[in-house]
């Protein structure tokens, strides 16, 4: 099957019902359930974009195996130009959700591209794992599947090292090896997009290192979300069933986060990519280049999101007529600086891209890491604060869609209009500002940007331990010696 349509994605979900629980209810069909259906529609719209005649060439490329058009995010890049093409494709998808849906399918496509390009890495564990990886990558590319992932083992207790303290009765563990495959039991966090994905990829993450004793928790595999024994437990839905006018983001872009339980789940051998090798499990991210490739997808989305929020801030200021006030200008200036910083990091990662040891092109990871860290720690939370500071009471003086059909409509139209906007246009804009900066949808977005790429403290420790600061220390030493 070449690049899918939205309808094909939706039929795929219907044909393979998975075990999903939300607010005490077992979900029959995620494509029609109010908690998920609008998120499903938004992902479907991305697939449809691949068939838009005006965009098709930017969204797809010719499959080397089938000769059919397949999603461009599956391309294993061999030049900076390939990276730029991929980024432009990913920008189209990111803009479709204003940067709010972080787990659009290109996220995991980028990871599996890198892993397939570096398939020899997996052969170091067992020779057959190399072909498993290549076959799986080709399978998801040719079937244009949507993947989720859950990397973190639930922990009962924490310790200050980067090595997690895992309990066999909690962490996802291999309980048996059979002729058919491995059997796993336990739990994992946190499958964003999980209930509305086709497949779930399970692998470790560098910020939560595995100890030498954790051989039974050391693996990488991917299976269908409807595999027997896989259960998704969702948080409450942020789609409150409101109109697009009242909840412009929540009513469209609920991507859902779910804890995943594995009740003796069989993982067929052909879906296993690593097993029992702690070192290979701990090191794959940098060694295969997948950290750089996900970083490229992530920072592309972050730049789009920053641009969306900057555009929103601009409209807020124009609508309220506050653009002549110096500190308002300063805040917009601050946002512009953030946007430029993110774009500069993205561009630097492409400009400094290089062939890696596996023979394909990886973007430079330094600027990607810097951009991602700044975005989660500082830029995004601060941009939300600025929207609140600029919007102030207009985020509260906010009639709903239904209010415009009441006897208060005359008063609303008379008193809530500004010099540049009707009352309805103002309400339309500030519902968006609310959903971006104050609603429960917005709170989850800030939490997501802070945490999804791993705890910032752990990430900073990794940077401290790995970053080569020696050249700079030597310069300072040389300067000090010149004093003697
Ligand atoms: C909205 C959202 C979506 C997410 N989506 C996904 C997803 O799709 N897939 C996925 O796999 N994961 C996802 N995650 C999980 C994310 O990767 C983790 O939240 C993150 O890695 C931190 O792990 P934790 O939540 O277990 O934190 P915890 O380990 O519970 O940390 C709790 C606190 O203790 C501190 N702490 C604990 N141990 C250490 C240590 N060793 N060193 C320093 N500080 C420590 C932390 O700084 C933090 O303040 C998501 C998270 C969120 C919030």
pLDDT tens sequence across 238-295: 999 999 999 999 999 999 999 999 999 999 999 999 999 999 999 999 999 999 999 9
For residue 1, is pLDDT > 80? no
Question: Residue 446: how many CB atoms within 10 A of its CB?
Answer: 16
Strand partners, 233: 21, 259
Closest by CA to 302, choosing from 462, 47, 107, is 107
Residue nearest to atom 39 of ligand 1 (CA): 160
User: What is the per-residue pLDDT for 155?
Assistant: 87
At 376, phi and psi to the nearest 5? -70, -40
Contacts of 234 (CB under 8 A, 6+ apart): 20, 21, 22, 23, 35, 195, 256, 257, 258
Residue nearest to atom 34 of ligand 1 (CA): 158
Ligand 1 atom with least separation from CA of 191: 8
User: What is the per-residue pLDDT for 159?
Assistant: 87
The confidence band for 484, taking pLDDT boundaries of 50, 70 and 90, is confident
Decide: 451 in ligand 1 pocket, CB within 6 A.
yes
Instruction: Please give the mean pLDDT across all residues of the chain.
Output: 97
For residue 162, is pLDDT > 90? no
Q: Give CA–CA dist 92/108, Å, rounded.
A: 17
Segment 108-122 mean pLDDT:
98
Closest by CA to 426, choosing from 413, 438, 441, 439, is 413
User: What is the per-residue pLDDT for 167?
Assistant: 87
Structural domains present in the chain: 6-285 (2.40.110.10), 289-481 (1.20.140.10)
Q: What percent of the chain has pLDDT over 90?
A: 95
Decide: 249 in ligand 1 pocket, CB within 6 A.
no
Decide: 460 in ligand 1 pocket, CB within 6 A.
no
The tokens describing 246, both together, are 């009242």
Decide: 458 in ligand 1 pocket, CB within 6 A.
yes
The residue that leads in pLDDT, 161 or 111, is 111
Strand partners, 182: 177, 267
The confidence band for 197, taking pLDDT boundaries of 50, 70 and 90, is very high
CA dihedral 66, 145, 10, 435 (to 10 degrees): -130
Closest by CA to 384, choosing from 445, 431, 465, 333, is 445
Ligand 1 atom with least separation from CA of 450: 53
Q: What's the gap in Å between 166 CA and the centre of ligand 1?
A: 14
For residue 14, is pLDDT > 90? yes
User: What is the per-residue pLDDT for 359?
Assistant: 96
User: What is the per-residue pLDDT for 266?
Assistant: 98
Ligand 1 atom with least separation from CA of 194: 8
Q: What's the gap in Å between 234 CA and the centre of ligand 1?
A: 17
Segment 422-428 mean pLDDT:
98
For residue 73, is pLDDT > 80? yes
Tell me the CA distances in angstroms from 336 to 143, 293, 309, 327, 340, one per residue in order.
40, 26, 10, 14, 6
For residue 158, is pLDDT > 90? no
Decide: 317 in ligand 1 pocket, CB within 6 A.
no
pLDDT digits (tens, 9 = 90+) for 308-339: 999 999 999 999 999 999 999 999 999 999 99
pLDDT digits (tens, 9 = 90+) for 24-36: 999 999 999 999 9
Q: Give CA–CA dist 53/74, Å, rounded.
A: 20
Q: What's the gap in Å between 369 CA and the centre of ligand 1?
A: 17
The tokens describing 424, both together, are 């309805």
For residue 407, is pLDDT > 80? yes
């Amino acid at each position: 099957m070449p690049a899918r349509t939205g309808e094909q994605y939706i039929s795929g979900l219907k044909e393979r019902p998975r075990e999903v629980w939300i607010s005490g209810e077992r979900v029959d069909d995620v494509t029609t359930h109010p908690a998920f259906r609008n998120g499903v529609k938004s992902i479907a719209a991305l697939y449809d974009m691949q068939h838009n005649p005006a965009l098709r060439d930017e969204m797809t490329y010719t499959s080397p195996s089938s000769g059919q058009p397949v999603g461009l995010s599956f391309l294993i890049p061999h030049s900076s130009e390939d990276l730029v093409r991929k980024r432009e494709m990913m920008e189209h998808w990111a803009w479709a959700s204003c940067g709010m849906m972080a787990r659009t399918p290109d996220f995991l496509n980028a990871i599996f591209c890198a892993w397939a390009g570096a398939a020899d890495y997996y052969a170091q564990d067992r020779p057959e794992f190399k072909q498993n990886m290549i076959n799986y990558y080709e399978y998801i590319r040719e079937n244009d599947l949507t993947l989720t992932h859950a990397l973190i083992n639930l922990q009962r207790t924490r310790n200050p090292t980067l090595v997690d303290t895992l309990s066999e009765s909690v962490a996802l563990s291999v309980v048996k090896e059979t002729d058919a495959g491995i059997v796993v039991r336990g739990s994992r966090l946190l499958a964003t997009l999980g209930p509305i994905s086709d497949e779930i990829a399970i692998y470790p993450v560098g910020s939560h290192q595995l100890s030498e004793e954790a051989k039974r928790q050391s693996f990488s595999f991917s299976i269908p979300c409807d595999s027997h024994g896989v259960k998704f437990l969702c948080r409450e839905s942020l789609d409150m069933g409101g109109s697009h006018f009242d909840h412009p983001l929540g009513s469209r872009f609920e991507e859902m986060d779910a804890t995943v339980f594995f009740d003796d789940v069989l993982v067929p051998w052909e879906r296993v990519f690593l097993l029992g090798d702690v070192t290979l499990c701990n090191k794959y991210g940098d060694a295969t280049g997948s950290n750089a490739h996900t970083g490229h997808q992530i920072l592309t989305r972050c730049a789009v999101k920053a641009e969306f929020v900057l555009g929103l801030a601009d409209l807020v200021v124009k609508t309220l007529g506050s653009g002549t006030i110096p500190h308002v200008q300063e805040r917009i200036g601050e946002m512009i600086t953030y946007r430029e910083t993110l774009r500069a990091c993205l561009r630097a990662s492409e400009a400094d891209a290089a062939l890696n040891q596996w023979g394909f092109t990886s973007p430079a990871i330094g600027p990607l890491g810097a951009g991602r860290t700044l975005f989660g720690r500082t830029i995004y939370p601060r941009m939300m604060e600025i929207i609140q500071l600029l919007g102030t009471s207009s985020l509260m003086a906010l009639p709903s869609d239904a209010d415009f059909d009441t006897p208060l409509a005359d008063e609303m139209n008379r008193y809530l209009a500004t010099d540049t906007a009707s009352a309805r246009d103002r309400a339309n804009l500030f519902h968006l500002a609310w959903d971006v900066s104050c609603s429960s949808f917005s709170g989850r977005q800030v939490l997501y940007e802070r945490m999804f790429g791993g705890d910032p403290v752990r990430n900073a420790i990794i940077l401290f331990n790995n970053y080569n600061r020696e050249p700079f220390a030597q310069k300072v030493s040389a300067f000090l010696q010149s004093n003697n």
